[in-house]
Structures are given as C-alpha cells and as structure tokens.
Amino acid sequence: MLFTNANLFLDGCFQRGAFRVENGRFAEILTDAAGDGIDLHGQYVIPGLVDIHSHGNSGADFSDGDYDGLVKMAKYLAANGVTSFAPASMTLPYDVLEAAYKTAAALKKAAPDGCARLMGINMEGPFFSEKKKGAQNASYLRLPDYAAFERLYNASEGLLRIADIAAELPGAVEFTEKASKLCTVSIAHTDCTYEEASAVFDAGASHLTHLYNAMPGIHHRKPGPIGAGSERKNVVAELISDGYHIHPSAVRMAFRLFPGRICLISDALRCCGMPDGQYMLGGQDVFLKGGVAKLADGTIAGSAANLYECMQRAVSFGIPAEQAILSATIIPAREIGQDAEIGSIAVGKLADFVVCDAALNRSAVYLGGQAL
C-alpha cells in the first residue's frame, strides 16, 4: 500500500515524501511525494507514540491483573495515537505483581486487533523510600531484593524492561549491578544524595523516573539525583508534561538539562479518559477533579492525561514540536530496547503511525499500516 503527498517525520525533522507499507511494515520511503496511492494531501505523518510509564485509563489499571481491563487500556491508547506501551505496576505484594505480569505476557502473545502493542513492563516499586513514596502504598515498600525481581522478570517472560529503585536504600548498588544486565534500571521515589545517585548510575542505572517528582529538587550545594543524572550522557529522564505535575518553566529547563535525553510519559491512572470522581490506585483512594488526580491527603498522584496530550502540551510550553515528538517516540522505544521495531518511520519497522496537522491534531491512527 502506497501513501503519497505526506510530510514525513524522518530523522528528527519533517520532509515531503511518500512511503509504502507491506506486511504491516514500512517497506519503502520515497522522496517523490506523488504517485498512485492513498493521498494524504500534505498532512503530517509521525511515528505512533510509545508510553513506557502508564498505569491505566478507561477505569482499568494494569496492576489489577485483569486481561479485559488491559485490553480496554490498549484500545484507548491506540485510539489516542499511542501505538506501543509498557504499562507500569505499583508498590504492591509480589503475588499481585506476578499476576499482573503474567496477564501482560498473555496480552503480548494474543496481540488483539485495535490494541496498542504491549512492548514491555515498567516495575515501579516496591524498592522505594518511604519519605518520597508519593502515591505509592507504604504498606508494601521493600528493600531491594534481586531474587524477588528475578521472580517477577520470569513471570513476565522477559517483558520487564525497566526496574525502579531508590538509590539510598541498602543493597541498591548490588541490585543495580545484577538487574541492569537484564533491563534498564531507573532511580525513582528517592531521597538520595548526589553521591548515592552517582554510585547507582555507576553500577549500571541509566534512567530517572518522572523527573522532579518524588525526588529531591536541585540545590546549588545539593544537586541530588537530577544533578548526577544530567551530567551523565547515557541517563534518560522521564517527564510528565501534563501541565499539573511540573511548571512549564521546569519543563523547558529539563530539556536543557537533558538535551536529547528527555522521555515524555503520561503516568496516567485509571481515571484517564474518565469523568471527575473517586478512583483506586494501589489500594488507595484517588480523587480526580478538574484534570488533577490527588490522594485524600492532597498528594498529587499520577496524571489524567494520555501521552499524546502530554506531547501537545509540551509543545504549548515552548518545546519544539520535533523534539517533543522524538521524546514521545524513539527515545522511549530505546529505553525499553524496542527501537529496532518501533519509535520511528524507517524501512523494516512496524508501520504504526499517526496522521495529523501541523499542530499535531490527529486525523487518523494506523497500526501495521491499517487504519483504526
């Protein structure tokens, strides 16, 4: 199938051209925009987005371990331009996590039509600091435990792509040395110092979970994990640009601190795509009002925005559209080791893409070259 007369997002910029899809993959990229095929009339074509940190939407949560709920989540994501995802779990008992990871593996194998591709799992918890637990349930916090991680990794059938850890916990360095051989290790929900973060980065961690949130802020005498991460060129930082978690100025600062290394995420909860009301997160009540999700004590929880909305909001905050697109596509794809399959428009990759206007407003979503 040939798609013509398009503004294609290739190598970080838009170029006029056409492309051919065969057997669900990009088969050819053409510089001549004309031809007999589906005329896109100069619309913009970007890769399908990749959300590597999303808990739920549409009333469902990944940690529920419910297959039908996970399908509902995946359909909502695809319909909103997020064609691949790595759902994030919460700080919960190991048996609950194991059940959720087995459900993810089942969805990966089934690959139902109309669903975003499940390309990994983000293990957010339970190896966190109580002081910076945020919306995580303190009842289930644990010290780093490689044997428990290995159990969950096996239950996921290798889908566990990111493991989060608070760098100051006893055993964090030893855990990271081992776990980083199997997946990306991320510093998260931490009260660590610059020195503690540096030790874990040196041990193999290469990722920061939701930058600024649930970690010490930057201080000129105490740069903390943000300072340690910013000066290491291999460290990628997640960012929730929903407009509530982080001030627009801090969003712009993040892109300067981590040039080419910002990974946009949604951190969406089951209330994403739902009306204001009361919901559940990791055994705790969450209240959604006016687009903001909070615990009963006022602690901001995850977001109620999907990744496509977060990307558009980043642009509205002054981030160049090209950089925002990269941060929502190829950068997250690399962080879960799936960039050979997804994250960019390139010959041989899965033909998952979004057709939109110059303001990134969607007109169509394609999975494997087929319109949803």
Compute mean pLDDT per 10 residues along the chain, 372 residues long, and list them.
96 96 97 85 97 97 97 98 98 96 98 97 96 90 97 98 98 98 98 98 98 96 98 98 96 98 97 93 89 90 95 98 98 98 98 98 98 96
340 to 92, 152, 186, 286, 318: CA distances (angstroms): 32, 25, 22, 37, 30
CB 353 within 8 A of CB 44: no
- Tell me the per-residue pLDDT of 160-199, one tens digit each, with 9 for 90 and over: 999 999 999 999 999 999 999 999 999 999 999 999 999 9
Strand partners, 85: 51, 118
List of domains in the chain: 1-47+344-372 (2.30.40.10), 49-342 (3.20.20.140)
- Tell me the per-residue pLDDT of 327-336, one tens digit each, with 9 for 90 and over: 999 999 999 9
Which residue is associated with the tokens 């997002």?
A: 9
- Per-residue pLDDT at 34: 74
CB 173 within 8 A of CB 136: no
Q: For this structure, is 267 an active site residue?
A: yes
359: helix, strand or coil: coil
CB 48 within 8 A of CB 81: yes
User: Model-level pTM?
Assistant: 0.97
CB 176 within 8 A of CB 203: yes
CA 51, 53, 57 angle in degrees (round to 5)?
80
For residues 113 and 167, what is the distance between their CA atoms, to the nearest angstrom? 40
Q: Which of 51, 191, 242, 267 is catalytic?
A: 267
Cβ atoms < 10 Å from Cβ of 348: 9
Please, is 41 exposed, middle or buried when counting C-beta atoms within 10 Å of its C-beta (0-12, 13-18, 19+)?
exposed
